[in-house]
């Protein structure tokens, strides 16, 4: 455009402020150097936020998807500009001090996308994510910036040998410790579980959040249910780039999509899929960014009427590839809509309503067993159970699938941190009837609320899943299963009741009455509280220290703003 041209402020609301007019000659000069033509200055600028990295299979292919999204944006009439944000691997850092950075990375991703899009004046953007925290991080940025945007999921990994996946490896470690697996057999599982690019293949956190974001309306239909290495995923990425330009033309922003009803849709789909407990944490955080009132107890309210229908790993039999093969989550959403369990009038990034998107979706093929009928659900109500009681007065999140029972009573075995608990489990010190208490792992005290996949997998590998419970102020991987309760608030670092438990205390958990109880009287609780002392923080500088000072409780989504 010439210096005298008037900006098209309808779709160039932000980029026009950066590149239009005589005063912005220096900005244009810089952009000429990175490939802008004169004609590009009159086009809407579309950021392509890529989480590409070769440090994890989840993200190693996202550069090619970012290229497809950029091509779609430019073919749609925009000027694409690609930039990177970070990722860290939950699967690699699990069980190590590095896992403290996992949840922190959600905030870093959101902050970095907000920073680049805001600084550069992009009119809209595509955000692509693979590993667990990428998805909510991208969605938080979309909500904060409130510019036309579309999320693209990097896609699910293909199954390994004998349908193995990353959880197979974690559980094999427990079996090896129990003497049920040889060194050679463990090595074979390790070498064959991860065949290539893509996110972990069960209904773990990545696939859960991709499905929830699709149900929210922030990604195109079927984006959550495509394999990472597939032509469908490339087409999805290309279409997302085109879609952002259409959203600009229509004036549709995340605030038009992220309604209270949209979050109820996401919760409903998460429950029907038997999704990860992390969905509670992340949906609360996305809602906070969108300024939509959402409370932890909304999961109980919605869960009382939504059945679990997906027979998916980790508790069930099937992988994401099996769900993809029968049509993904769109036919499931159509079933839920027909039962009156979804709000069909919610607008989505297609520019159409949810009901309109689902209108032409074909039903699941006859004979499929991945998604159960409403007449024969896995569980009649939600597997995500919000517990309260004198041990968790501000709430805790349990994943009760029905396989592990609804009640547990046992004797406390207390550990300061995950490493001590894992060592005791692998050494055979944890026995039937124990309630393993892993504390000082909360958002502030960890910091970063590490996932307890290593201890829960070790419990499973030692065949104790039905006989041992694990409770924590940390959280769980989507791959965890068994009688596990996380997100206990207030956390131990803040002097919550979980900090006051002693070895040998009786603890009872009742998923039906939604209670978790430390069986001591209030006078004893107060006596213990009076002598409790807060431990020194894990870090006194850097990102972990900043996070610990800023972060809210798990019951509020562990947000930092």
State the catalytic residues.
477
Provide the 3-class DSSP secondary structure of residue 124: strand
Burial 139-178 (b: 16+ CB within 10 A, else e): bbbbbbbebbbbbbbbbbbbbbeeebbbbbbbbbbbbbbe
Helices first, then strands: H and E counts in the chain: 21, 12
**Dihedral-angle region of residue 235 (phi above 0 means left; psi in -120 to 50 means alpha; beta otherwise):** alpha
Which residues partner with 353 through β-bridges? Answer: 347
What dihedral do alpha carbons 325, 329, 333, 334 form, nearest 10°? -20
| DSSP state for residue 428 in the 8-state scheme | T
Q: Give the number of other Cβ atoms within 10 Å of residue 434's Cβ.
A: 22
| DSSP state for residue 371 in the 8-state scheme | B
Location of structure tokens 């994943």: 399
Tokens representing residue 202 in the block: 């069960």
Tokens representing residue 152 in the block: 């693209």
Cis amide bond preceding 501, omega within 30: no
Tokens representing residue 7 in the block: 């900006």
Find, among 41, 40, 44, 37, the residue nearest to 9 by Cα.
Answer: 44
> Both ends of the chain: CA-CA distance in Å?
39
Burial 249-275 (b: 16+ CB within 10 A, else e): eeebbbebbbbebbbbbbbbbbbbbbb
Distance CA 157, CA 90 (A): 15
Q: Are 122 and 147 within 8 A, CB to CB?
A: yes
Provide the 3-class DSSP secondary structure of residue 343: coil
Tokens representing residue 448 in the block: 């970063």
Provide the 3-class DSSP secondary structure of residue 416: strand
Tokens representing residue 523 in the block: 């006078």
């Amino acid at each position: 455009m010439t210096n005298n041209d008037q900006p098209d402020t309808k779709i160039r609301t932000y980029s026009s402020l950066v590149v239009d007019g005589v005063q912005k000659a220096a900005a244009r000069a810089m952009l000429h150097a990175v490939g802008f033509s004169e004609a590009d200055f009159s086009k809407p600028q579309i950021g392509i936020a890529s989480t590409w990295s070769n440090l994890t299979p989840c993200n190693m292919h996202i550069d090619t998807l970012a290229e497809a999204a950029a091509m779609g944006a430019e073919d749609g009439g925009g000027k694409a500009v690609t930039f990177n944000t970070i990722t860290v691997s939950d699967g690699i850092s699990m069980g190590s001090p590095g896992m403290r950075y996992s949840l922190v990375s959600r905030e870093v991703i959101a902050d970095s996308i907000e920073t680049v899009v805001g600084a550069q004046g992009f009119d809209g953007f595509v955000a692509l994510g693979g590993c667990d925290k990428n998805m909510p991080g991208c969605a938080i940025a979309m909500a904060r910036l409130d510019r036309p945007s579309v999320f693209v999921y990097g896609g699910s990994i293909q199954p390994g040998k004998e349908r193995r996946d990353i959880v197979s490896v974690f559980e094999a470690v427990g079996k090896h410790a129990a003497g049920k697996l040889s060194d050679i057999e463990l090595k074979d599982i390790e070498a064959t579980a991860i065949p290539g690019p893509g996110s972990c293949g069960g209904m773990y956190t990545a696939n859960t959040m991709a499905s929830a974001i699709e149900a929210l309306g922030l990604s195109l239909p079927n984006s959550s249910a495509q394999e990472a290495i597939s032509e469908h995923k490339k087409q999805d990425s290309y279409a997302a780039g085109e879609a952002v330009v259409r959203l600009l033309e229509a004036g549709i922003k995340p605030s038009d999509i992220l309604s209270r009803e949209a979050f109820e849709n996401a919760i409903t789909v998460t429950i029907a899929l038997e999704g990860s407990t992390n969905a509670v944490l992340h949906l609360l955080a996305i809602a906070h960014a969108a300024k939509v009132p959402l409370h932890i107890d909304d999961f109980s309210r919605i869960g009382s009427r939504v059945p679990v229908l997906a027979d998916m790993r980790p508790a069930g039999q099937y992988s994401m590839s099996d769900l993809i093969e029968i049509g993904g989550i769109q036919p499931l959403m159509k079933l839920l809509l027909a039962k009156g369990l979804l709000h069909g009038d919610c607008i989505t990034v297609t520019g159409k309503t949810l009901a309109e998107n689902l209108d032409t979706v074909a039903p699941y093929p006859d004979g499929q067993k991945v998604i159960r009928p409403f007449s024969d659900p896995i569980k009649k109500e939600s597997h995500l159970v919000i517990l309260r009681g004198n041990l968790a007065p501000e709430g805790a999140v349990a994943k009760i699938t029905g396989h592990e029972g609804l009640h547990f009573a046992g004797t406390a075995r207390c550990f300061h941190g995950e490493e001590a608990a894992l060592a005791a489990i692998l050494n055979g010190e944890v026995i039937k009837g124990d309630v393993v208490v892993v504390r000082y792992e909360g958002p502030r005290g960890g910091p970063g609320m590490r996932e307890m996949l290593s201890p829960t997998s070790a419990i499973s590998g030692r065949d104790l899943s039905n006989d041992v419970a694990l409770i924590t102020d940390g959280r769980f991987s989507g791959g965890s299963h068994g009688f596990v309760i996380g997100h206990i608030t207030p956390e131990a670092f803040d002097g919550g009741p979980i900090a006051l438990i002693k070895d040998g205390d009786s603890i009872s958990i009742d998923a039906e009455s939604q209670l978790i109880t430390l069986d001591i009287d209030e006078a004893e609780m107060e006596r213990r509280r009076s002598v409790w002392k807060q431990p020194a923080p894990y870090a006194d500088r850097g990102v972990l220290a900043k996070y610990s000072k800023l972060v809210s409780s798990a019951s509020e989504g562990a947000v930092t703003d």
